[in-house]
Structure 1
Amino acid sequence: MVDERVVAPEVDEAERAAEAALRPRRLAEFVGQHVVREQLELVLHAALARGGVPDHVLLSGPPGLGKTTLAMIIAAELGTSVRVTSGPAIQHAGDLAAVLSSLDEGEVLFVDEIHRLARPAEELLYVAMEDFRVDVVVGKGAGANAIGLTLPPFTVVGATTRAGLLPAPLRDRFGFTGHLDFYSSAELEQVLRRSAGLLGVDLADDAAAEIAGRSRGTPRIANRLLRRVRDWAQVRGDGTCDRAAARAALEVYEVDELGLDRLDRAVLRALCVRFGGGPVGLTTLAVAVGEEPETVETVAEPFLVREGLIGRTPRGRVATPRAWEHLDLAAPGGPASLFG
């Protein structure tokens, strides 16, 4: 994965705009997630046939798999507009009340990172989702009055990377919950071919396979790597994105054969070389690589664990035999000692 943790604001905006341009607009264009897509299609088409609004939708899964894209697609399939906000942006119940009271009938309210809503806003959202009503408090102290406002029917689409942090009362308000899984290499190749067509990139099949294999099962990463390969081909190649160009470009951007980036390898190397394979605590490991513990835990660790390169034990993080092999290092004491 291209290191995106320190970027200039204008570069970040350009990346976001490029990602938005590659998003599919309808369910029929959406690649992968076949089960969720079929279930969602039934929910939306049934609501359209009844002439009402669909149940509220909760989308969960790791970053970059298409939760925001599906929220936009839901609005497009319903033929309505979408209002976008996020959990961290709504810290007071009044903020949410202002958003809810401005919704039009049938509109979609997309709440990204919904697990980070403040508790007062959560409690207000419970009532709004179930009864389409919101209570607005006017005045302060003993003279304060609660005025109930009836809301037009609408659909909340919540997205979360940590569904376990959602309180049960909020989870229960969603009529449909879809969990997005990582993509296969074949599915990512489909994503890349579609994106290459939109970008006007001449992408060879072997290059698509090379990029897909290093994209960590994530379409967002695949599309970003495609743009970096395109850049390399335009500047240092002949404009054709073949396997040689893909390998050369990804070497420049420090993305190895497994999809590990600079931070991933730094974590692995620190674990193996500095700490002898562990076990080592998260905070100590983060200090060793010069990152915040939260960055190591949320950005690098999930992929390393999923690839079987590190393990989490009660005593701390440990390197697996595959980690030593990937770094071309000899594990001290044999594999069994790593989990003793």
Structure 2
Amino acid sequence: MDDLRDLSDHRNGEPADETELAIDGALRPTSLAEFVGQQKVRGQLQLLLDAARIQQRSPDHILLSGPPGLGKTTLAMIVAHESGRPLRLSSGPAIQHAGDLAALLSSLTPGEVLFIDEVHRMARAAEEMLYLAMEDFRIDIMVGKGAGATSIPLDLAPFTLVGATTRSGLLPNPLRDRFGFTAHLEYYDPAELEQVIERSAVMLGVTLPSAARGEIARRSRGTPRIANRLLRRVRDYVIVHGGAEGEADIATVGAALDLYDVDAIGLDRLDRSVLEALVRRFRGGPVGLNTLAVTVGEESETIESVVEPYLVRIGFMGRTPRGRIATPEAYAHLRIPHAEDALRLDDL
């Protein structure tokens, strides 16, 4: 969590940790009506929650898929809030044994909402236990080993599982089929991000004209989490450079984000390093993912999950059977002659 200070407390020289914690919570919408974007998913979720409320039952299990930062965790919190149920948070990497899942499920209260982030990263044994739990609200506990092992059934309180995944293709079909509702979250368009930024700016005490909100939105890669993070950096810049009443015009926004190496379309240092390596070192490719990762000094998983999706989405990188390639648009953005032109220049 960012270590920030409120404008008023900063000027008084007093820490604002509690204030910042409150703001962090306030930045998350607490109802579907407050949630910006994902209109189709919101409508589907609203129907599911309303039907469960009318029938006085727990909502069906929900699977939320999509890239990081689009609001999967926030939607899980909203499901619990609008259902009037408590929320339990966990994550796939933390559930590495069937016993871990058994302990978690057996401690749930009736109607509780269980949110498992990165559900595709659960251990296979835990996944298999979850099948029965989701369908029949029951698990089988194995006692003993070998020929003397005994299965003891354990009934569970009815619960709603909200699973979140950035890679739904890695979920086994038996697990995916047990979710009553599956939603895929899409990237936000700039107009939607401006609404997110406008709301967050009020919470953070920053005054932003329309042009400044648009500039942050353009650099946010279609992701609300990034938009809020960039807005915080703009607020820091205003605090340090003494902006009047926390006001940040488009020039201030540009200066702040340029300082943090976020360019006009949202590329950061790592994005540009990958593109420049692909263009300069490998003449536009094709090049393997591992080779590219070693060249820029990052893990291949980071390149594949963090950098590559955005570069592919904006048309700067292509994925082929032989490896990654740079497109003419990438050359143009970096202001580097296209590969064929560069080869001719080398011969001069």
Structure 2 length-normalised TM: 0.90
1: distance between equivalents of 2:312 and 2:30?
A: 33
Secondary structure of the 1:220 match is: helix
In the alignment, which residue of structure 1 is the partner of 2:56?
51
Select between 171-180 and 285-294 the one with higher mean Cα deviation.
285-294
Matched, 1:195 2:208: no
- Tell whether the 8 Å contact from 1:270 to 1:289 is kept in structure 2 after alignment: yes
After TM superposition, the structure 1 = structure 2 runs for residues 231-246 of structure 1, keeping only pairs within 5 Å, are 231-238=236-243, 239-246=246-253
Q: Provide Cα deviations, 1:275-333, integer angstroms capped at 9, x if missing partner.
A: 11111111111111111111111111110000100111111111100000000111132
Percent same amino acid at aligned positions?
A: 67
Which residue pairs with 1:313 in the alignment? 320
The 2-side partners of 1:256 and 1:77 are apart by: 39
Pick aligned residue for 2:235 from 227, 230, 237: 230
Matched, 1:167 2:190: no
Does residue 65 of structure 1 match 2:70?
yes
Deviations 1:179-230 (A, max 9, x none): 0000000000000011111112212211110000000000000000000001
Q: Distance in 1 between matches of 2:333 and 2:289?
A: 21
Matched, 1:281 2:288: yes
* 3-state SS in 1 of match to 2:44: helix
Which amino acid is 1:311 matched to? G
User: Which residue, out of 86, 93, 97, partners 1:92?
Assistant: 97
2:261 and 2:268 in contact (8 A); partners too: yes
Name the SS of the counterpart of 1:80 in structure 2. Answer: coil
Q: Establish whether residue 183 from structure 1 lines up as the match of residue 188 from structure 2.
A: yes
Measured in 1, the distance between the counterparts of 2:205 and 2:36 equals 19
What is the aligned partner in structure 1 of residue 215 from structure 2?
210
Cα RMSD (Å) = 1.8
How far the C-alpha of 1:142 sits from its partner, in A, is 4.2
Q: Which residue is 1:247 aligned to?
A: 254
Alignment pair present for 1:33 and 2:33: no
Shift of 1:152: 1.6
- Distance in 1 of aligned mates of 2:23 and 2:230: 12
Paired positions, count: 323
Is 1:331 matched with 2:331?
no
Which deviations, in whole Å up to 9, do the C-alpha atoms of 1:226-246 show, x marking residues without a partner?
000010011114131111110
- 1:262 aligned onto 2:272: no
Q: Secondary structure at the match of 1:187?
A: helix
Deviates more, 1:108-117 or 1:132-141: 132-141
CA distance in 1, matches of 2:103, 2:291: 44
Secondary structure, in 3 states, of the residue corresponding to 1:27?
coil
Q: Which stretches in structure 1 are left out of the alignment for 5+ residues?
A: 3-13, 336-340
Q: Residues 112-142 of structure 1, C-alpha deviation per residue, up to 9 Å, x if partnerless?
A: 0000111110010000000011112234444
Q: Secondary structure at the match of 1:29?
A: coil
The 10-residue stretch of structure 1 (203-212 or 232-241) with the greater mean CA deviation from structure 2: 232-241
Provide the rounded CA distance (Å) in 2 between the counterparts of 1:242 and 1:112.
37
**Secondary structure of the structure 2 residue equivalent to 1:299:** helix
TM-superposed CA distance for 1:258, in Å, is 0.8
SS in 1 for 2:68: coil
Q: Which runs of 5+ in 2 are unaligned?
A: 3-18, 343-348
Tell me by how many angstroms 1:17 deviates.
Answer: 7.9
Q: 2 CA distance for matches of 1:50 and 1:158?
A: 23
- Contact 1:19–1:223 (CA under 8 A) maintained in structure 2: no
Structure 1 stretch 272-281 or stretch 250-259: which is displaced more?
272-281
Residues 114 and 159, structure 2, Cα contact 8 Å, conserved in 1: yes
Q: Assess, with a 3 A threshold, how the Cα gap between structure 1 residues 124 and 55 changes in structure 2: closer, same or farther.
A: same
Question: In the alignment, which of 115, 121, 126 is matched to residue 121 of structure 1?
Answer: 126
1:137 aligns with 2:142: yes
Give secondary structure in 2 for the equivalent of 1:174: coil
Distance 2:289 2:149 in 1: 48
Aligned to 1:9: none
Counterpart of 2:193 in structure 1: which amino acid? Answer: L
- Structure-1-length-normalised TM-score: 0.92
Question: Kindly tell me: are residues 310 and 115 of structure 1, through their superposed partners in 2, closer, same or farther at Cα, counting changes over 3 Å?
Answer: same
Q: Is the Cα contact below 8 Å between 2:279 and 2:339 reproduced in 1? A: no
- Are the counterparts in 2 of residues 237 and 245 from structure 1 also a CA contact under 8 Å? no
- Structure 1 letter corresponding to 2:240: V
1:24 to 21, 29, 32: 29
Q: Secondary structure at the match of 1:28?
A: coil
Q: 2:158 aligns with which of 138, 153, 170?
A: 153
Residue 143 of structure 1: how far off its partner (Å): 4.0
